[in-house]
Amino acid sequence: MVKFGTSGIRGRFGEEVDANLAARLGQAIGKRGAKAVIGRDTRTSGVILENALASGIISVGGDVIRIGIAPTPTVALAAKRLGASGVMITASHNPPEYNGFKFFNSSGNEIGKEEEARIEEKIGEGRKFEVKWEEMGEEVRDRTAVSEHIKLALGLVDVALIRKKRPKVVVDCGNGAASVIMPYALREAGCRVVAVNAEPSGLFARGLEPNLENLRETAAIVRAVGADLGIAHDGDADRAVIIDENGELLGLDAQLALVCGEELGRKKGTVVTTIEASMAVKEAIEKNGGKFFITKVGSVHVAREMERLKAVFGGEPCGEYIFSGGVPVPDGILTGLEFVELFCRKGKLGALKERVRIYPMKRAKYPAKDKNAAMRKIAPEIKKAFKGKVFDEDGVRVDFEGGWLLVRASGTEPIVRITVEHKDLRTMEALFAKAAEIARRFV
Ligand code: MG
């Protein structure tokens, strides 16, 4: 039985995800006379899934536009541009033995829960190859998707300024989808580029999660070559992690705070983030004249609220940023370029990072047999115990003077998580103890 997770379908190739599933997915989403764009990251199983998916779509009369290896936002943009649905074959930052699918509609938005349920149901029906030979779909290859994405991204940053400053940038593509676009985008923008792990081979030289542990060598290269900054991507390049001139990661909170300031510098308005956002992010938004708005975890929710509120920017603390004027999905390519521009305009990122105030924060997780049942009991108790502004559409977050706390069931693991942040360390510890005591009673 196929199941959508928090971001499309994902699993081990040959187990949860295989060619048979891909073909059935193709039949579920294919429609006579309708077009579907297919892209993939560099995983070795990607070509198998791409072929099977395309076969499924064509077999029910749908047309396929193949764009080959490309980042997730590139696929979303191609879908929007070509008036087609879109499928990205990727497992994002998961290890190489994993793969999966993300689905987009013709506005470039990731599909919602209702559409996912419709696909699940169709696959359950076990549809057969239905159309006759003269009704089958066609396929074409489109080689413009990457250049169109570069064009869009360069149209949103100050290329004249970047060309004047000619910053030296190390880009670590993680041997993923960024390999086919980011070194070229940076060069075209006017950077001096040192590209590492930029062979799109599907043989990964580092772990695909762009975190401290996986980026040690890249950080050392940033220092060794005297680069102004480093940019590192996950497997499908919807994320970018930034390394400063000292070879240190900016850190996800400081990174999000800086990009919020940058976007509000262009245009004032609402910034959408999630319930996991720290005070550094809130302060950056308010200090720069923006309105802080939080929603549920997940880029689909961020994109939806951005559209509803006509927001100027949407960013999740995990490093997924959606730019207004760009595609309505997280875009690691544009993220990298925005930080290049930030460096060109304001100087060393290491110094800018120091100006972002990071407050005492504590996170802990509690194993729960039934995390959702536990949360139903925990949430009312938290609301009783802590007075403040409550957001309870996804766990429960309470904002109060000097800090906030969040109690939430994990989207993927059988655990309940508590996060507490406060300007004062001792108050933070006390608030944390109080919340933990409530959680422990019900997990
Ligand atoms: Mg990703």
Ligand 1 centroid distance, CA of 33 (Å) = 31
Which amino acid is located at 174 in the chain? G
| pLDDT for res 129 | 65
How far away, in angstroms, is 223 Cα from ligand 1 center? 26
How far is the C-alpha of 301 from the C-alpha of 281, rounded, in Å? 18
Angle between helices 252-266 and 279-287 (to 10 degrees): 20
What digits encode the pLDDT tens for the residues 150-201?
A: 999 999 999 999 999 999 999 999 999 999 999 999 999 999 999 999 999 9
Spacing, Cα 92 to ligand 1 middle (Å) = 4
Cβ contact 399:292 at 8 Å? no
Encoding tokens for residue 125? 């029906």
| pLDDT (tens digit per residue) in 282-314 | 999 999 999 999 999 999 999 999 999 999 999
| Catalytic residue numbers, as ranges | 92
> Rounded to whole angstroms, how far apart are CA atoms 232 and 64?
31
Predicted confidence (pLDDT) per residue in 117-151, tens digit: 999 998 877 666 678 999 999 999 999 999 999 99
The span from the CA of 152 to the CA of 243, in Å, is 24
Under-50 pLDDT residues of the chain: none
Are both 9-143 and 361-442 of the same fold? no
List, for residues 105-117, the tens digit of each pLDDT value: 999 999 998 999 9
Query: For the chain, what is the mean pLDDT?
Result: 96
Q: Which helix (H) or strand (E) holds 240?
A: strand 240-243
Q: What's the gap in Å between 63 CA and the centre of ligand 1?
A: 27
- Nearest residue to 246 (alpha-carbon basis) of 263, 262, 265, 224: 224
Q: What is the distance in A from the centroid of ligand 1 to the CA of 254?
A: 20
* Integer Cα distance of 132 and 58 in angstroms: 11
Spatial distance between the Cα atoms of 93 and 55, rounded to a whole number of angstroms? 27
Q: How far apart are CA 439 and CA 297, in angstroms?
A: 20
What superfamily in CATH does domain 148-354 come from? Alpha-D-Glucose-1,6-Bisphosphate, subunit A, domain 3 (3.40.120.10)
Closest CA to 73 of 340, 338, 323: 323
Output the pLDDT for position 127.
Answer: 63
CA of 376 to the centre of ligand 1 (A): 31
Thinking of the domain 361-442, which architecture would CATH place it in? 2-Layer Sandwich (3.30)
Structure tokens at 209: 């999660």
Please state which of the four CATH numbers 3.40.1260.10, 3.40.120.10, 1.20.1440.230, 3.40.640.10 is assigned to the domain occupying 9-143.
Answer: 3.40.120.10
Cα torsion through 356, 314, 375, 384, rounded to 10? 60
Q: Phi and psi dihedrals of 320, rounded to 5?
A: -100, 115
Predicted confidence at residue 3, as pLDDT, reads 81
The residues pairing with 414 across neighbouring beta strands, listed in sequence order, are none
Check if the beta carbon of residue 11 is closer than 8 Å to that of residue 41: no
129 Cα–ligand 1 center, Å: 33
In the chain, domain spans: 9-143, 148-354, 361-442
**Model pTM score:** 0.95
